[in-house]
Amino acid sequence: MRHVLDWIESRTGLETMVKHFLYEDIPASAGWHQVFGSVALFLFLIQVFTGAMLAFNYAPTPGEAYNSLKYVVTELTGGTLIRGLHHWGASTMIVVVVLHMLQVFIWGAYKKPREATWMVGVILLMLTMAFGLTGYLLPWDNRAYWGTVVTTQIAGLAPGAGPYVQRLMGAENGVGVVTFARFYAMHTLLLPLIMVAIIAFHVYLVRKHGVTPAPGDNAPKKKFFPEQVYKDTVAVFLTFLVLFTLAAVVKVPLGRLADPTDTSYIPRPEWYFLFLFQLLKFFEGKMEVVGAVILPNLAIVALFLVPFIDRGKVMRVTQRTMAMAVVVAAAIGWSALTVAAVRSTPAQTEVDVTLAEPAPETVAWASLSPEELAGLGYFRAEKCGTCHAVGSGPAKKGPDLSGTAGKRDASWLIGHFKNPQSHVPGSAMPAVNLPAAQLNALAAFLLKLTPQTATVLMASPEAAVDGAMVYQQNRCGTCHQVNGVGMKLGPPMNGLAKRRDRKWVEGHFLDPQKFSPGTVMPPYRLSPGELDRLTTYLMSL
């Protein structure tokens, strides 16, 4: 082993570097109050690891991002735990970084010659907050979407620079694909590289100037290893124990897919931004820029200038009454604003889709796509049940269709509809004269029939079936999804009744621009009967 280590040392100098790091001299007064820096670094590494694990199964596009995250937390082994570690790790990291800065502030460890170390620490705090801000959008659920809408609107209040900041965020025309792409790139590519570089520079400055000794500490210095390493290790272990418990016990919710038309949703930022959200309520109209931009930026500037404002000699922590008063006042103010924001938050109707119990009719019409359900309508219109039994009931001259799903494919069925004789010579079945789209729907429905589901599917309510036929005839699926089937240009139709009332939906079909200004949806000239059936179907999803 010694020969191996000598070879590594001669080629890389790794052994010397590790020893130099571990056996650094630190003041005898160093102790438990200086573990926060190591814990913050550990939490950053946790975020990098869990972020990479999530990225293996994450699709970085709106809609698909939501579906992939839903897959992670409902189907992937360990997915809920990994997401929990990443989510709670972000909050824990912010807490620890703030505690680290408070410790440095109370102990006066920012004084000469450590001014640059403090300023770099402030930059690290801002980067940590930026990680939380950019990562907030990535689940692409209602909570993430509307929270980011508020964030981008606040950014647009910056005097003179507001429109340019919004353009940089890709949100000048609202939160959308460009916003998502830029937030994702910032969160996964740009911010990590900057963070690693700034952390390395921060550690270099700490090593250069050393740990701040307590005033009057004339005792012989001690080595970083083993005493301080032990304390850092214990602190890291306890932090991870808390983090793991949170990830395992407290489930991170995932709401409905982001719906830009759901203006009834009341957005709220993450808990560490709630104080700013509440502060804005004290500034309305033209004064809003004061609470949104001026005061937060003045606070950041004040943090940077702390070493130059307090230029007195280092004193014992018990004598730093002014510093403690500032910390207590800031803590009281932050707590009061946060509690007020929490209390003023109304109850949301949003549900966690990963906890929702399957409805009793999941094997019935509610689980079918519009095309499949419309196929039942064509089945009834063509009176296919005259010759074919489906599940229970007396035998008929045609075969029982309840086992179609296991015997035929769509190509065979469509060919059989068009020319029964070619597929079943001698068949008395006449050709089905329907357009191609309707034949596809009929085949899709028959392929859903199994001996277990046939009877309940055949009993699907007429109102739902007729509504699905209108949905298909008007090609609503080219923009909307039902049960995950269709395009994602518009909001999903599932859960529409929780977001809109019937009158709004009917009016939106007839005059979309009136209800959603700027929408690309055209008006639909539906008869009163068609409008009634389509709305009934959509509101029952």
The type of residue at 165 is V
Q: What is the 3-state secondary structure (H, E, C) of 50-110?
A: HHHHHHCCCCCCCCHHHHHHHHHHHCCCCHHHHHHHHHHHHHHHHHHHHHHHHHHHHHCCC
CB 377 within 8 A of CB 466: yes
User: What pairs with residue 141 in β-bridges?
Assistant: 257
**With 0-12 CB in 10 A as exposed, 13-18 as middle and 19+ as buried, what is 144?**
buried
Sign of CA dihedral 100, 102, 107, 113: positive
Q: What percent of the chain has pLDDT over 90?
A: 55
CB 38 within 8 A of CB 235: yes
Amino acid 265: pLDDT: 78
**What interhelical angle do 36-55 and 229-249 show, nearest 10?**
40
Amino acid 364: pLDDT: 66
What does the pLDDT look like over 178-206, one tens digit per residue?
999 999 999 999 999 999 999 999 999 99
**What interhelical angle do 462-473 and 370-381 show, nearest 10?**
110
Neighbours of 479 (CB within 10 A): 15
Res. 350 pLDDT band, cuts 50 70 90? low
Amino acid 426: pLDDT: 81
Neighbours of 102 (CB within 10 A): 15
Please state which of the ranges 74-78, 394-398, 416-420 shows the lowest mean pLDDT: 394-398
Please state which of the ranges 59-73, 92-106, 294-308, 317-331 shows the lowest mean pLDDT: 59-73
Amino acid 348: pLDDT: 60
Amino acid 313: pLDDT: 85
Res. 353 pLDDT band, cuts 50 70 90? low
Res. 363 pLDDT band, cuts 50 70 90? very low
Amino acid 362: pLDDT: 42
What is the β-pairing status of strands 222-223 and 481-482?
A: unpaired
Which has more pLDDT, 463 or 49? 49
Res. 497 pLDDT band, cuts 50 70 90? confident
CB 80 within 8 A of CB 71: no
* Position 148 pLDDT exceeds 60: yes
What is the β-pairing status of strands 25-26 and 222-223?
A: antiparallel
CB 206 within 8 A of CB 69: no
Sign of CA dihedral 507, 508, 512, 515: positive
* Position 520 pLDDT exceeds 90: no
Amino acid 82: pLDDT: 97
Mean pLDDT of 432-448: 90
Q: Output DSSP code: residue 147.
A: H
Rounded Cα distance, 450 and 464, in Å? 21
Give all domains of the chain, ordered by start, each with its CATH number. Answer: 32-343 (1.20.810.10), 365-539 (1.10.760.10)
Res. 138 pLDDT band, cuts 50 70 90? very high
Amino acid 407: pLDDT: 78
Amino acid 235: pLDDT: 97
Rounded Cα distance, 224 and 30, in Å? 9
* Position 450 pLDDT exceeds 90: no
Mean pLDDT of 269-280: 88
Phi, psi (rounded to 5 degrees) for 341: -65, -40
Amino acid 393: pLDDT: 67
CB 81 within 8 A of CB 54: no
Q: Cα 18 from chain centroid?
A: 39
Rounded Cα distance, 38 and 275, in Å? 27
Res. 530 pLDDT band, cuts 50 70 90? very high
CB 5 within 8 A of CB 15: yes
* Closest residue by Cα to residue 86 from 131, 142, 126: 131
Radius of gyration from C-alpha coordinates of the chain: 31
CB 457 within 8 A of CB 364: yes
Mean pLDDT of the chain: 89
Q: Output DSSP code: residue 224.
A: I
CB-hemisphere CA count at 13 Å for 416?
17
* Position 208 pLDDT exceeds 60: yes
- Give the three-state DSSP class for 25: strand
Res. 356 pLDDT band, cuts 50 70 90? low
CB 280 within 8 A of CB 288: yes
Please state which of the ranges 48-52, 119-123, 338-342 shows the lowest mean pLDDT: 338-342
Amino acid 437: pLDDT: 92
Amino acid 255: pLDDT: 86
What is the residue whose two structure tokens read 């700027």?
518
CA distances from 511 to 484, 507, 508, 519 (A): 26, 6, 5, 10
Please state which of the ranges 210-219, 235-244, 327-336 shows the lowest mean pLDDT: 210-219
Amino acid 357: pLDDT: 47
Rounded Cα distance, 198 and 51, in Å? 19
CB 310 within 8 A of CB 172: no
CA distances from 221 to 23, 27, 29, 384, 470 (A): 11, 5, 9, 93, 82
Neighbours of 177 (CB within 10 A): 11
Mean pLDDT of 401-417: 83
Amino acid 366: pLDDT: 78
- Give the three-state DSSP class for 481: strand
Amino acid 8: pLDDT: 94
Res. 361 pLDDT band, cuts 50 70 90? very low
Amino acid 454: pLDDT: 81
**What interhelical angle do 64-74 and 79-107 show, nearest 10?**
100
Neighbours of 152 (CB within 10 A): 20
Res. 266 pLDDT band, cuts 50 70 90? confident
